[in-house]
Amino acid sequence: MSIKRRPGRLHHTAYVTKDLEATRAFYEDVIGLPLIATYTEMDELFGKERTYCHCFFELADGSALAFFQFANPDDQAEFGPDIPSSPFIHIALHVDKDTQAELEARIAAAGIVEPATYVLEHGYCRSVYVTDPNGMILEFTYDTPAAMAPEVDAERRATAKAELARWLAGDHHNNNPYRHAA
């Protein structure tokens, strides 16, 4: 199958928050994403009228992280924000090395410490993780230049389906040459 057109970039990803001001302070003051729009709305949604606030925090490429908070406590309870606390459920944002270092410094300056923040060296990238006021994990990923070289990228793309098939067939050996090599 040859797909000619695909989405260009993330527009936004949306979540429910229990405290819009704590969320604003974290994303704008600590992480550095400006609050670019706040919409307060009343709509007929899922069988009843609901009143909510919807805030957008802008990423450098123009996409956004968006957060809802409902006026009615019953609506708030129905839609969230009970976010599972699994480290495998998170938002990962691409950063360069200097931005990652600056974010680490701002997170530390805000007094956010382990276990709410940690670093993982994947080999092909370095990731800084921090937990937001809603319990959501945010990852800032810096790609290792050697792992992003054009020939390496071409090889990963060319073997992606075969590697998935191998995994699904039960062969679970490591294929990350940058970390824990077999």
- pLDDT, tens digit, for every residue of 24-41? 999 999 999 999 999 998
CATH number of the domain encompassing residue 114: 3.10.180.10
| Per-residue pLDDT at 182 | 45
Co-location of 119 and 181 in the same domain? no
Question: Does residue 30 contact residue 107 with C-beta atoms inside 8 Å?
Answer: yes
Tally of domains in the chain: 3
Co-location of 38 and 75 in the same domain? yes
The string over 48-76, giving b where at least 16 C-beta atoms fall within 10 Å of a residue's C-beta and e elsewhere, is eebebebbbbbbeeebbbbbbbbeeeebb
Instruction: Identify the band that residue 64 occupies on the pLDDT scale cut at 50, 70 and 90.
Output: very high
C-alpha 63/C-alpha 148 separation (Å) is: 23
- Choose between 124 and 25: higher pLDDT: 25
Task: Evaluate if residue 7 carries a pLDDT over 90.
Answer: no
Instruction: Identify the band that residue 180 occupies on the pLDDT scale cut at 50, 70 and 90.
Output: low
**Predicted model pTM:** 0.83
Average pLDDT over residues 116-129: 91
C-alpha 163/C-alpha 175 separation (Å) is: 9
Domain extent for 26: 1-82
Co-location of 27 and 76 in the same domain? yes
Average pLDDT over residues 10-21: 90
Co-location of 38 and 89 in the same domain? no
Name the average pLDDT for the chain. 89
Co-location of 64 and 20 in the same domain? yes
Q: Which residue has the tokens 């691409």?
A: 94
Mean pLDDT check: name the lowest of 31-40, 155-164, 171-180. Answer: 171-180
